[in-house]
Amino acid sequence: LCGDSVWYRVGEYSGSTPVDYSSGKIDTSNIHANEDFILYSETDTVIIKPSSAPVELLTVCPPDTGIEIVIFHLDDDATYIKKYQEKVEVLRQYPDFGNTPPEDYKTFTYSAPDDSDLIKLREEYKLDSVAGDGGEIERITNLLHWASNIVRHEDRMLENVPRNALDLIASCVKENRGVNCRMKATILNEAYLAMGFKSRHVTCMPADTADRDCHVINMVYSDSLGKWLNMDPSFDACFMDSARNILSIAEIRQMMINGDSLILNDELNYNGGSRSVLRHKSYIAKNLFRFSCPLESEFGYETLENELQIQIYLNPLGYDEKYVGKTYQYRNENNKLIKYFTDNSEYFWAAPY
């Protein structure tokens, strides 16, 4: 009926289609064939369970109803294997990094857990209990699971909300909504800092600068292992080697290039639903080409007013060399943004001690 809406959800994709009298809009999404497609309105629910793949599902009403056309392409495992191999080949074209330091060499810093905002976060969400009394790795992964579950993932940003864990969580609870991967990583990063771990959130980007899709995850330092560990709160995920040792982001990239076996933790999911391992690996491979992260890891860093914000960018050797070693300054609504570009991976992945 005109004025109604039809909602759809499949895996991590969700949205709504208003029934009005404006026609002609087409939306496409690629989804995995093993995931159910759910189409529902206020009065009806349809669940489609694909029995084979690839599958193309087209939902459309006659033009006079004005409902949007929604097309879903359901990819099979072979498709994701092919996509993964294609993305790894891009990494193999730029496997190495250089030793060019930023123009104005600076050291990464990390807030101490006695910061007043971090104390408030730790107490309000009982992070000591969340982390538990187990070993270091268990406490790190317990905090990952908490950040994955505390707010759901949605592919959109919260507008006019300070980017810190306290405000993001409160706004999501109040509005019954989720946040994008960057804000999920902000929540986990500040939880780690509040519990005394050294941590950064890292923007992982593709080679294609026209591809605006990136993925933001966390790197947290393990004192017991003497290395960084990858943590992804959007999917409650971490990559491991075949012996189930948790890897650093740099190690994941290199192992993909080498063709080594990579596995994911058993908790891999998307908002409590299934997440294909093959799909996840192909997506992450696309976004492990180049990286950036804030120089200072602290509470609410990206929306501090009237503060200088510094981002460090790491490019592989031979890629966009005109930027490497250079500094670029911008100004946004709240502060001045400085971007430093380097190809020096030792500098970018330096241990915090």
Where a domain ends, among 75, 97, 116?
Answer: 75
Supply the range of the domain harboring residue 127: 81-348
Whether residue 188 is found in the same domain as residue 275: yes
Domains in the chain, number: 2
* 295 in the same domain as 201: yes
Measured between alpha carbons, how far is 145 from 142 in angstroms, rounded to an integer? 5
pLDDT reported for residue 7: 52
User: What is the residue-level pLDDT of the chain in tens, covering all 353 positions?
Assistant: 334 444 555 445 555 444 443 444 444 444 454 555 555 544 555 555 555 444 444 444 444 444 444 444 556 788 889 999 999 999 999 999 999 876 677 899 999 999 999 999 999 999 999 999 999 999 999 999 999 999 999 987 778 899 999 999 999 999 999 999 999 999 999 999 999 999 999 999 999 998 989 999 999 999 999 999 999 999 999 999 999 999 999 999 999 999 999 999 999 999 999 899 999 999 999 999 999 999 999 999 988 776 788 999 999 999 998 889 888 887 766 668 889 999 999 999 999 99
| Shared domain check, 285 and 155 | yes
Residue 353 lies in a domain: no
Same domain, 160 and 297: yes
Do 219 and 243 lie in one domain? The reply is yes
Q: What are phi and psi of 147, to 5 degrees?
A: -65, -30
Q: Are residues 47 and 190 in the same domain?
A: no
> Is 114 found in the same domain as 237?
yes
pLDDT given at position 121: 98
Boundary residue ending a domain (50, 75, 100) = 75
Would you state the pLDDT for residue 335? Answer: 67
